[in-house]
Amino acid sequence: MTLFDVVFSGNDTVCGLTEGAINDAIAKYGEDKAVAFPSTAYALPCYYGVTGTKVTNLGELKAALEVVKTLQTRNKRLHDVFMSGVATALEAEFIEALKYIDAEPYNPEVDGCVGHIGDDIVRSLGVPLVTGDIPGVAVILGKAPTADDAVALVKSYQTQGILVTLVGDVIDQLAEKGYKTGVGVRVIPLGKDVTSVVHVVSVAVRAALIFGNVTGGDAAALMKYTFERVPAFVNALGALNPIVVAAGAGAIALGFPVVTNDVETAAAVNIKVPKSLIVQPDVDKFNATSLEARDIKIKITNIDIPVAFASAFEGEIIRKGDMQVEFDGSRVDCLELVQMKDMSEVEDHKIEVIGPDIDEMPVGSKQQIAYVVEVAGKNMQADFEPVFERKFHAYMNCIEGIMHTGQRDMIRVRISKDAFAAGFRAKHIGEVLYAQIKNEFDAVVDRCAVKIYTNPEDCTKMRHEVAVPTFDKRDERLASMTDEAVDVYYSCIMCQAFSPSHVCVVTPERLGLCGAVSWFDAKATNQLDPAGPCQIITKEKCIDERIGEYEDVNEAVRKFSQGALEDVSLYSIMEKPMTSCGCFECICGIEPFTNGVCIANREYTGTTPLGMTFSELASMTGGGVQTPGFMGHGKHFIASKKFMKAEGGVARIVWLPKDLKEQVRDNLNKTAKELYGIDNFVDMIGDETITTDPEELMAILSENGHPALTMDPMM
Amino acid sequence: MPFNRKPQKFNTAINVVEIGTGDKAIKLGGASVFPFYTFDGPIGNTAKVGVEISDMGLEGEPAGVKAYYEGCTTMAEIAKKAAEMPGADFVSLKLEGGDPNGVNKSVEELIAVVKEVVDAIDAPLVIQGCKNAEKDGELLAKAAEACQGKNVLLMSAKEENYKAVGAAAGLAYNQKVGAESAVDINLAKQLNVVTTQLGVKAESIVMNVGTATVGYGYDYVISTLDRIRAAALTQADKMLQMPIITPVSSETWGVKEATADEADAPAGWGCVEKRGISMEVQTAAADLVSGSDAVILKHPASVAAIAKMIKELS
Amino acid sequence: MALTGIQIFKMSPKKNCKECGSPTCMAFCMKVAQGAVDISACPHFSADAIAQLSEATAPPMKTIKIGAGENEYSLGGETVLYRHEKTFVNKTRYAATLCSCMDDATIDAKIEAAKVVDYERIGERMFTEALFVNCAEGTDAAKYAEVAKKAAATGRPVILNTTCADCAKAALAEIKAAKPVLNAANAANYAEMNAIATEAGVVLGVSGTSVDELYDTVAALEAAGNKNLVLDVTMDTIKATYEAAVEVRRGAIKNNDRTFGYPSIVNVAKLADGDVALEQALAAAFTMKYGSIVVVSEMDYAMALPVFGLRQNLFTDPQKPMKVAPGIYPLNGADENSICLTTVDFALTYFLVSGELERSGVPVNLIIQDAGGLSVLTSWAAGKLSSTSVSDFMKAEVEPKIANRKLIIPGKVAVLKGDIEAKLPGWEVIVAPLEAVQLVKFLKDMQAAGQC
């Protein structure tokens, strides 16, 4: 038998049963007899959702079945399987509806089952579903290997806040163990017949009608909604019969994956529906498998550590005398690292301590540590690694009794005696990193594990063989990234609160002018918060390559500045320069006599050869207005090959404050060498220890043979 | 050469949002010109004035407010009286007693008040939360349920709880959602974006873009309102075309100009109630000319004055 | 269109002679572009360049000066319609009303009343800056002159609101040295009033019954050579006045129509006609919408406190947030034994925090230190709020005056705790919650636990 045969035969069986039941009922009550579920305004909700027609009596029900039959095509294509699945669900709804004629077929007091769920409960469950307070809906159907397995599975979902619905023998298994069920505890036994599964489908359909504004009869919109917004999944326990498989096909059609432990049947019919029908022989792992299949992320509200975790502890200082142990990267091999892995390589929430724990270390001693956070996810990218890593400092410091400084392989971590006495051990570092990464980066991290090495050999090996090469590779990538190498730039409007019309266009070679937002940061911000301050800007329509002007960039700038800015160039300070907010690290301004520019950084308080200080320059340039000849920028931009490229590049720099000069010396020399073949370019540039007078500067530059003097005039 | 008029009339408009039911229902928004620029084009629905009442009753209210409600003992009576206030278009119930840092009334207790009020009046109702986002998430969701069929506006859907408030008010119970952000155009827009992504229709959203009393960082309010209205009209930014409601009284009656008794105040300040009224009136007037489509006030003298100003300008 | 500094620089002498007071020509040109200095400050620009630049750099709206000496005020000179585009430069001034119809005692009382409001708010003096003298129908010129004289005796600029030529002449004869405004010209009398104002050397106020009439009268006056005008945009109705106020300012700034490039007068006392609350509403509305002078019937504290607060906010530079003075602010009856709490001098932060502290009822010394007028995180990021700045300020200003040794620091800069403790021996540093609204509970809990 193939999957097609199984589903079609299951569907046929249900169809036959339905037809018989309807005919029997008509024979008994006549066609005008009313059919309805209690407390719903949506007639037979599933049928109404799919067709837009309300069924109110047996005659209409019979007609409806004829409509459903048209779905039951028998071509051997996946589409036919799904439509037969939907037909099976609708027929199940009809069978269940018939049960309600002149009867109360379910009674939680008697048989423990709820059956149909009223609109009022749908509305009240819908709100936490939309908000994510109920992160998912589990439909458990069939019989678990043992009653204890059933309890364990239900409990695992319940503790995660997932709404559990039960169909079939599993209800009795829970009852046997005295497990409390009911709408109040969000474990809802629907009914013991397999057709009662339609009551949860009915909830999903009404969620789409009520919360999704889906019109009855718009089946495509309905299925889109259930797929995107109703985080339900099916756990089919025990042997699969054709009816269950047919119903399962209906679930998959709505976007709900089915997890089964029936390895044999699954193998026999050679079922392959990737991500939708998953064989998991181990019921213990149903929870993890289901959550991942439905992409459900559980928020971690309580980090399992023996000390407090809050930003109030961020500034805590642990002095030598209060210190239980210190990990000191300046003396021994230490490191912190995020590594992207393949999904199959990461077991979520696995925290390993490899080597001695803190209680085995002498009090007050200096030790080595290497903590490596492994992450995997469908949307994860290696470029996010350093973005996560930079958060470690804050995460670690928020732990009460832990002090963290530095980054990469130059970290220092102190653990206080108090924290140790409270029970703080190495694995708790893992718990904190795990919880924070999962919570903050849930948009891209599906699985996260932490390895903590404390043996000297491991740490040395990890540092020199894994971490340092990784850091080098990242630095190289960053250094080699060019604007031309990427397809998109990012906008950043984080500081619009201060500078209403300012928009930063962040490119690989031109970081945000605050110095804090690189292209990678902007990209990560965008992925993590798609409606947030960093938006994608395409760069397909180049207007002027020389000054770096693009139609798409202009459009974006217009949009994000609410029309205040018309057009900007990326590489010119004379023509349509980018605007400046108030938080730029540096400001450069044209020095007309030398044909070049002077740069002042925020820390520099003296005057410049322009006759203006940093703050005077800033007051003329800031606030999101274009000021040709003047521009705010980040420190790193100074050595960029794109730095005022339109005007000839870094060769225009004639003056820098001494401190800044030293900070950018190596990179700037390198850029100048590459662009113009000039050695030691930085030595040609003036600074405040040389002069702040424009005429003296002129004389000194001629003495030094500064290239700006012979370049074309800027104005 | 005669004066050459260059009207700023736009081919787009602020969304129209209806609150309440029946004859007394009101519509906010609809302008396709800047606030009160009647000489440029249609200003849409005239700005509306709401009267604020609190679950805490009349305790601590200024004498003029107490006098107006004289004889009212229940919330239902207070609400009815508020609805009748000359110049009032709607009633706004503030559930300040719910604040966990304050009286911390239970959700059930407050929902009882909501029911009492909504049943007592046929004027449109606007419900404000208790300032605490977490509590509001639950409280306002329940309030939306309690007011089914009344088409009320539930304010205080913030970044932290917009899902709960938005889903309950905007989706489950077909009410209107008040998206509240903190005096920043981008935050306001972002909240509208995520609220609509939740499934709430743009036409069901009213914005509270933050408020302050004149003199107290009000510069940010001016610029936020100015910029939002400009973006909505000149850029036709759909995510900023929601009408704006500004709760004025809860801000203005808390500053020292409105609270310092004559005896404690600097010499010459005069009657505290007069100062309170003028703080409220002037803040409301400034809000309206910057783009607020509705203001929430509490003193009868303020309501009358602002209603008159709106009438004169519209 | 306004010129950029670079465009002006191209025409500059490029001598760096410093005679203009700026260290370089570039610095000077940048200031000219901003409107911070006048091009005439440079003695070396060629006449040609100046002529070319004056036209281009001339603001769309003239700056008109009224009053004399210490009480001279600049009106107008705005370059934008909204404060977020660029700072508004010349704030609205308020005038209280007098009338020749009042008896002497009433006038004296009104003049005294106008002096009552006088206070300082965040470094700005707030008071009734001008007097508006109405001229009742049939007033005797001598009587009007006498009232004008009394008004001028206060030292405040006077706006003579009369259409009677004799009254105008008589009043100006007495007080023209004080540079009053003669608010007198209309479509019917502008030629005569122009002569009177020009002869006296005072600003002429122009009014009209409609925007168009006003425009034509201004055009006629300009043609007659008078560009020292203010426009009284008050019309018969509030609606028409609002239209006129907007059209005049928008015409000048957005549409570059120089005929309307003058400051405006809005008489809200007349529009409100005795409705006190409505008058307050209108005072606020016309402060926002382009009144250069707003005329109120009386400036008492109820009117003043909000309207001056509004004006202060409206005219603040969006780039330079308002600052409060550093120091110790004892709240809720705090004394030297009360706990200290510190935050930055950004006015908005100060108001938020002090409001919540007052709400808590717990005695606290609020310590404001100089953080460049920035918010907590911004000043921390800019290095203006640091463990050193906090500890230096505490040592210099607080330790000599306060005995309590507990200091609460903003939750957003919890990272400073350890460093501050290290630099401030003897102090216990406590981290506050992240948001100001959480302070009430935080302090009440501390108080309940006997910690403050």
Q: pLDDT tens for residues C360-413?
A: 889 999 999 988 887 888 788 767 888 999 999 999 999 999 999 999 999 988
In this predicted structure, the answer to whether residue A272 has a pLDDT above a threshold of 70 is no
Residues B309, C280: C-beta atoms closer than 8 Å? no
Band (pLDDT 50/70/90 cuts) for residue A74 is very high
Instruction: Tell me which amino acid residue C386 is.
Output: S
Pairing label, strands A549-550, C118-121: unpaired
Q: Which residues of B touch C277 (CB under 8 A)?
A: 277-278, 281, 301-302, 304-305
Contact assignment for C305 to B3 by CB distance below 8 Å: no
Residue C1: predicted pLDDT: 44
Given this model, what pLDDT does residue A516 score? 75
DSSP codes of every residue in A186-209:
TEEEEESSGGGGHHHHHHHHHHHH
Q: Which CATH architecture has domain A485-710?
A: 3-Layer(aba) Sandwich (3.40)
pLDDT confidence tier of residue C325, bands split at 50, 70 and 90: confident
The predicted model gives A125-129 an average pLDDT of 88
φ and ψ of A300, to 5 deg: -95, 110
Interchain CB distance below 8 Å, A132 and B173: no
Contacts with B213 from chain C: Cβ below 8 Å:
306, 309
What is the sign of the dihedral through the CA atoms of B83, B88, B90 and B96?
Answer: negative
Q: Rounded to an integer, what distance in angstroms lies between the CA atom of residue B224 and that of residue B241?
A: 14
In a domain, B36, yes or no: yes
Handedness of CA B231, B237, B241, B245 (dihedral sign): negative
pLDDT tier at C321 (50, 70, 90 boundaries)? low
Q: Which chains touch A (3 or more CB pairs under 8 A)?
A: B, C
Place C157 in a pLDDT band, splitting at 50, 70 and 90: very high
CA distances from B72 to B56, B75, B253 (A): 13, 8, 22
- Chains A, B: CB contacts within 8 A come to 66
Res C147: pLDDT: 96
Q: How many degrees, rounded to 5, is the angle at CA A621 between CA A619 and CA A626?
A: 150
Residue B14 counted as domain residue: no
Residue B125 lies in a domain: yes
Per residue in A530-540, pLDDT (tens digit) is 888 899 999 99
Say yes or no: A658 contacts chain B, CB-CB below 8 A: no
Q: Taking a C-beta distance cutoff of 8 angstroms, is the pair C61, C31 a contact?
A: no
Going by DSSP bridges, is the β-strand pair A447-453/A369-376 parallel, antiparallel, or unpaired? antiparallel
In angstroms, the CA B266 to CA C305 distance is 12
pTM of the model: 0.83
In the predicted structure, residue A343 carries a pLDDT above the cut 80: yes
Which chain A residues have a beta carbon less than 8 Å from that of C410?
none
- Domains belonging to chain C, first-starting first, are 5-57 (1.10.15.40), 63-314 (3.20.20.20), 327-448 (3.40.50.11600)
Please tell me which of the candidates A211, A493, A531 has its beta carbon nearest to residue B167.
Answer: A211
Task: Say which CATH number the domain at B190 has.
Answer: 3.20.20.20
Which of 101-140 (B) contact A at CB < 8 A? 137
Nearest-Cα residue of chain A relative to residue C10: A715
Instruction: For chain C, give the percent of residues with pLDDT over 90.
Output: 68
**Counting runs of H as helices and runs of E as strands, what totals does chain C give?**
17, 17
CB B253 within 8 Å of CB B202: no
**A contact test, residue of C1, C83, C319 with most A CBs within 10 A:** C319
Are C309 and B213 a contacting pair at CB < 8 A? yes
Domain A3-99 has CATH 3.40.50.1980: no
Question: Per CB distance under 8 Å, which residues of C are interface residues toward A?
Answer: 4-6, 9-10, 14, 16, 22-27, 30-31, 34, 84-86, 318-319, 378, 381-383, 411, 413-422, 431, 434
Residue B264 lies in domain: 22-313
**Spelled out in words, what is the top-level CATH class assigned to the domain A311-469?**
alpha beta
Asked if the structure places residue B203 within a domain, the reply is yes
The model's pLDDT over B253-290, given as tens digits with 9 standing for 90+, comes to 988 899 888 888 888 899 999 999 999 999 999 999 99
The alpha carbons of chain C give a radius of gyration, in whole angstroms, of 27
Optimal mutation site among A309, A314, A586, A698, interface C, most CBs of chain C within 10 A: A314
The answer to whether residue A619 scores a pLDDT higher than 80 is no
Signed CA dihedral, B268, B269, B271, B277: sign only: positive
Q: What are phi and psi of B188, to 5 degrees?
A: -60, -45
* CA atoms of C201 and C196, how far apart (whole Å): 9
Average pLDDT, chain C: 92
- What integer pLDDT is reported at residue B283 of this predicted model? 98
Contact C6 A317 (CB under 8 A): no
CA of A612 vs chain C CAs: smallest distance (Å): 7
Average pLDDT over residues B54-76: 95
Which residues, in sequence order, are CB contacts of B272 under 8 Å at separation 6+? Answer: B62, B258, B259, B260, B261, B262, B265
Chain C contact for A628, CB < 8 A? yes
Percent of chain B at pLDDT exceeding 90: 85
Angstrom CA distances, B61 to B94, B99, C335, stand at 14, 18, 31
Q: Does A126 touch chain B (CB under 8 A)?
A: yes
d(CA A496, CA B124): 36
A27 or B131: which leads in pLDDT: A27
Number of domains in chain B: 1
DSSP H/E element including B49: strand B48-54
Mean pLDDT, chain A, integer: 91
Helix (H, G, I), strand (E, B) or coil at A651: helix
Looking at residue C319, its pLDDT comes to: 65
Query: DSSP letters of C382-448?
Result: TTSS-HHHHHHHIIIIITTT----EEEE-GGGGGGHHHHHHHSTTPEEEEPPSSGGGHHHHHHHHHH
Which of A 552-581 lie inside 8 A of B, CB atoms? Answer: 559, 562-563
What length is written for chain C?
A: 452
Q: Which of B6, B278, B308 is closest, CB to CB, to C255?
A: B6
Average pLDDT over residues A631-654: 92
Please name the residues in contact with A122: beta carbons below 8 A apart, sequence gap of 6 or more: A203, A206, A207, A210
Please indicate whether, in this complex, the C-beta atoms of A130 and B227 are within 8 angstroms of each other.
Answer: no
Q: Cβ separation of C216 and B313 shorter than 8 Å?
A: no
- Please count the residues of chain B: 314
Smallest Cβ–Cβ distance between B216 and the set C219, C251, C351 belongs to: C351
Q: How far apart are the CA of C257 and the nearest CA of chain A, in angstroms?
A: 22
DSSP one-letter code for B29: -
**Subunits close to B (at least 3 CB pairs below 8 A):** A, C
Whether the complex's predicted ipTM surpasses the cut of 0.90: yes
Predicted confidence band of residue A266 (pLDDT cuts 50, 70, 90):
confident
Verify whether the Cβ–Cβ distance C16 to A564 is below 8 Å. no
Q: In a 3-state reduction of DSSP, which class is residue B253?
A: coil
Domain boundaries, chain A: 3-99, 119-293, 311-469, 485-710
Contacts of C381 in chain A (CB under 8 A): 583
Question: Does the CB of B313 have a partner CB in chain A at under 8 Å?
Answer: no
A308 near C CB under 8 A: no
**pLDDT digits over C189-208, tens only?**
999 999 999 999 999 999 99
CB contact under 8 A, A315 and C431: yes
Interface with chain C: mutation pick from A627, A631, A647, A692, highest number of C CBs within 10 Å = A627
* Nearest CA-CA distance, residue A40 and chain B, Å: 14
CB contact under 8 Å between B237 and A562, yes or no, is yes
Across the interface, which of A311, A611, A623 has its CB nearest the CB of C23? A611
Tell me the per-residue pLDDT of A287-326, one tens digit each, with 9 for 90 and over.
999 998 998 988 888 899 999 898 888 878 888 889 999 9
- Summarised one tens digit per residue, pLDDT across range A164-218 is 999 999 999 999 999 999 888 999 999 999 999 999 999 999 999 998 889 999 9
Nearest-Cα residue of chain A relative to residue C12:
A592
- Asked if A533 reaches chain B (Cβ–Cβ under 8 Å), the answer is yes
What is the CATH code for A119-293?
3.40.50.2030
Q: Taking CA atoms, what residue in B is nearest to C83? A: B223
Cβ–Cβ gap B167/A210 under 8 Å:
no
| Residue C290 confidence (pLDDT) | 97
* Three-state SS annotation for A21-64: HHHHHHHHHCCCCECCCCCCCCCCHHHHHHHCCCCCEHHHHHHH
Q: How deeply is C69 buried, as exposed, middle or buried, from its count of CB atoms within 10 A (0-12, 13-18, 19+)?
A: exposed
Q: Nearest residue of A to residue B191 by CA position?
A: A531
Residues of B in contact with A123 (CB under 8 A): 145, 172-173
- Whether chain C has a CB inside 8 Å of the CB on A619: the answer is yes
Q: Under an 8 A CB cutoff, do C281 and B214 touch?
A: no
Q: Which of C270, C301, C311 to mutate to test the interface with B (most CBs of B within 10 A)?
A: C301
The answer to whether A616 contacts chain C (CB < 8 Å) is yes
**Residue B13 domain-assigned (yes or no):** no
The distance of A491 to chain B (nearest Cα, Å) reads 13
